[in-house]
Amino acid sequence: MSTNRVHTFCRICEPYCGLLAEVEDGRIVSLRNDKDHPIHKGFSCHKGIQYLRVHQDPDRLNYPLRRCNPRSEERGDFAQVTWDQAATEVGARLNDIVQRHGDKAIAMYTGNPIVFNSGFFANAEALSAGFGAGPRFGALTQDCANKFAGSEAIYGSFLVHPFPDLLHTDYFVGIGCNPAVSHMAFIEISDPMAKLRAIKQRGGKTVFINPRRIESATPETGEVLQIKPDTDFYFLAGLLHEIIFKIGYDGERVGKHAKNFDELIEFVKTWPAERAAAVSGISLETIREIAREFCAAPSASIYMSTGVNQGSQGVLAYWMLQMISLVSGNLGKRGGNLYCVGFCPTAQFTRRKQDQPFFDTEFGELRAIAGTMPGNLMPELLESRQNPVKALIVISGNPLLSIGGEARLRAALQGLELIVVLDIYRSATAELADYVLPATDFLEREDINTLGLGHQLEPHVQYTPAVVPAAGERRDDWWILSRLLQAMGRPSLLDDPQPKPFGAVEAMLQYSGLSLDKLKQLPCQTAVLPEPDPEELFRFGVQNDDGLIDCCPQLFRRGYASAEEHWQGLLAEPKDQLKLITRRTPLMVNSWMHNLPVHKKSVHMTNPLWMNPRDAESRSLFAGDEVRVQTDFGQVQADLVLDETLRPGVVAMSHGWGQSKAYGLSTARRFPGVNVNQLAAVGPGSFDVLSNQAQLTGINVQVIASSP
C-alpha cells in the first residue's frame, strides 16, 4: 500500500500551523504537526491535528438537503436533492423574492471560518455583490469589529493592525489575550508561547493584563495583573496620560508621521491614571510603573485581543493602544509594533472610502464596518419596514448561537421566506434552513494563507492542495455561491468554462514574483519571505491621503460620552457586583468543534460557570451546585465550578454552547451546554455605535442557587 505524504496547514486560526497528512488509498490516515515546515518547525496545537476527526465525523453533511416540513417546526426534516435541483429551486425563489421586494431583500451572514478559505475570501466582495444590496452580517461584530473601526479611522484602512514584534521586543504588554490557548488573533505567528519565553530569556519582560490568571502566564513568560473586566480603556488611557504628561513622548516621531496630536492631548488630559486606578483594580503606582518600564525599555510592544474587543469601549481602547505605541516611539520600530507587507501590500485595497460613514435608518444613524451591519440589530434589520429582508444566506456561520438574544433572532429567522445555509455541519442555524448545502472542509480544498497579510511576524506564503478529494457531494463555498448566482441568471465565476477562483490570489502573488505553480515546487509548498522592514508601516500601511496617522479621528467623538458614562457607572456599582467574562478553553473554538467526542471530558462536558472560591463562599454556593446566571436580558442554568485563577468578583463561561436544538449534531446535542450569549444586551442601543461591536464580556450578572 502506498502512503502519500501531503504538507498542508491548519485553517482554524491565524497562525496557519503546518500539518502533515498521510494519505492511503484516497483516505487520510494521519494528520500530524509538520516537523519539516520552515516556519512552524513542528509546532501546532491539538485543535489542528484533531481536525481529522472533523473531516471523518459521520455527522458531516454530504449532500444538498431540502426541507420537507414547515420551518415553524424546530427540528428539520430534510431530504437529499441533487445540486441541480437545489440550485435551480433556490435560484428561482431568490429571483422571485427580488422581483417582489427589490434588490435589498437578500441578506447574508458570514461566519469566522470563511476568512481562512482563500478561494472564497479572495472573491468575497464579488460573490456578495452578486446577491444584491441587502444587509450583510457576520461574526465580525461579535469579536473584533472595534479593531476594524479603530484602524480605519487612525490609519485609513481597516486591515492595518500593527502587531507586536515578539521576535525582538524587550517589553511586551498583552491585554485580554491568552496565547497558550487562543494563540494570537490578528497576528500570524508560529508557536507564540516560545516567542514569549524567549523575551524573558533575552532579559526582557512580559506583562499580561487579564481578569484571570491565564495559562499563558508562567514563570518563563511573565505575570498577570488581574484587571477588572471592561476597564481596559481606562487602563490604557492612564498609561498614555503618564507617557504624555509625566514621562515625555517622542515628539519627533509624532511630528514626522502623525497629525491632530494636540486634539489627542486634549482628550487624554481628561483620563489621568488616577481615574484608571479608581475603576480598574490596578493601583496608580502599578500603572505608573508599567508606563515607566514601557518607555525605559530599549523597545516595547503592546497587544490587545478578544477580551478587550468584546467589551464596551473596544474602539477607544484600540485607539489608546496605537497611541501608546506611537508616542513612546515604538510604532514602526524594530521590537515595537510593526506592519508587514508579506507577499502583497493589501492595505491599499481596503482604503477608507468616506470620512463620515453614518447614514440614517429607521433605527437611527448606523454605519457598516467592513460592509457589516450590527449583529445586535440583525432581527430588526431583517424585519425592517423600509427595506424588508425575505431571504438569508448563511455561509459557514452559526448566527443563532453567535449573536445575542437567541429567541428574538430565532423568531426573526422564522419570519423569512427562505433560508439557505452553506456549512460542513447541520448546525443549530442550519436546523432552521430551507436548504442546507454541504461545503468542503480544509482538508478537501486547496488554499493559501492570505488572512495574515499585513500581520505576519515571520512572513511566508504556503500553498496547499486539497489533501483528499471532497467526500460525497461536498463543494467549495465559492462554487456553491457561484452556482446559485448562475441559477439566478447572474454573472459568476462559473461563466468561465475553466473557473479561476484563485485568479485574484495569483494576481497578488505576482507582486512578489511568485505564483501558485512556483509555490508548488518549493519544500512544503512554502516561500519564506524577508522579515518586515519596520518602516513598512509608514510606506505601505498608512492609507490616509496625507500619509499621516490620525491621532484623534473626529469620528471617535461619538464614543466620548459612553466612556464617561461607563466610568461613572463602574464607580457607582455595588462592591460585590459580579462581572461575567467569556472564556475560550483549549477544547473548543467558537461553535466549530463541538461535535468531537474526544473533547467532551471532565469539566468540558458542558460549559460551567467558573467562580472564585471567595465569591462562592460569600454566597453560600458550593462546587457542583446548579446555579442560575441572570441579567436584565436573559438567564441560563449552569453548574458551578470553583476557579481561583479568576479575580474575585469575576465569573466566566464559554460561548459557542447551547446545542440542544442542533438535531444534526449527535455529540454536541448530547453535551449541549447553554448559550451564554443569551445574557448579552441586544437590540437598538446595545452595541458600540463606532464599530457595531456587541458587548459580550464584562457583563453584570447575578448568580443564584437554582431551587432544587
Partner 1 sequence: MTFVIAAPCVADYSCVEVCPVDCISPGPEDPEFQEAEQLYINPQQCIGCGACVEVCPVVAIYSADSLPVRWQHYAEVNRSYFMRRTKTDDVPRGES
CB of 528 to partner 1, least distance (A): 22
Region of 386 please: left (phi>0), alpha (psi -120 to 50) or beta.
alpha
Long-range contacts of 288-293 (CB under 8 A, 24+ apart): 288/242, 288/246, 290/173, 290/207, 290/225, 290/239, 291/238, 291/239, 291/242, 291/243, 291/246, 291/247, 292/242, 292/247, 293/171, 293/205
- Contact, 94 vs 392, CB < 8 A? no
220 or 473: CB nearest partner 1: 220
CB of 469 to partner 1, least distance (A): 23
CB of 66 to partner 1, least distance (A): 37
Grid coordinates belonging to 226 = 488581574
30 or 283: CB nearest partner 1: 30
Grid cell 448563511 is found at 394
CB of 662 to partner 1, least distance (A): 22
Which residues are CB-neighbours of 238 under 8 A, at least 6 positions away? 271, 272, 273, 274, 275, 276, 277, 280, 287, 291
First to last CA, the chain: 60
Dihedral Cα 83, 87, 93, 96, nearest 10 deg: -160
**Sequence-ordered strand ranges (E) for 198-282:** 205-209, 222-225, 258-259
CB of 49 to partner 1, least distance (A): 4
- Contact, 119 vs 450, CB < 8 A? no
518 or 584: CB nearest partner 1: 584
State phi, psi for 235 to the nearest 5 degrees.
-60, -45
CB of 164 to partner 1, least distance (A): 20
CB of 5 to partner 1, least distance (A): 12
CB of 174 to partner 1, least distance (A): 17
Cα→Cα distances 588→12, 47, 292, 306, 646, Å:
11, 8, 38, 15, 19
CB of 29 to partner 1, least distance (A): 8
102 or 613: CB nearest partner 1: 613
Q: Which residues bind partner 1 (CB under 8 A)?
A: 30, 32-33, 42-47, 49-50, 180-181, 193-194, 197, 215, 218-220, 585-587, 598-599, 601-604
Q: What is the DSSP string of 648-708?
A: TTEEEE-SS---TT-TT-HHHHHS----GGGGS--STTSB-TTT--B--SSEEEEEEEPP-
CB of 673 to partner 1, least distance (A): 15
43 or 249: CB nearest partner 1: 43
Longest dimension (CA), the chain: 72
DSSP, collapsed to helix, strand or coil, labels residue 609 as: strand
CB of 215 to partner 1, least distance (A): 6
Instruction: Give burial (CB, 10 Å; 0-12/13-18/19+) of 696.
Output: buried
Grid coordinates belonging to 80 = 437529499
48 or 335: CB nearest partner 1: 48
30 or 69: CB nearest partner 1: 30
Q: Could you say which DSSP state residue 585 is in? A: -
Q: What is the DSSP string of 148-185?
A: HHHHHHHHSBTT---EE-TTT-SEEEEES--HHHH--T
42 or 499: CB nearest partner 1: 42
DSSP, collapsed to helix, strand or coil, labels residue 550 as: strand
CB of 602 to partner 1, least distance (A): 5
216 or 691: CB nearest partner 1: 216
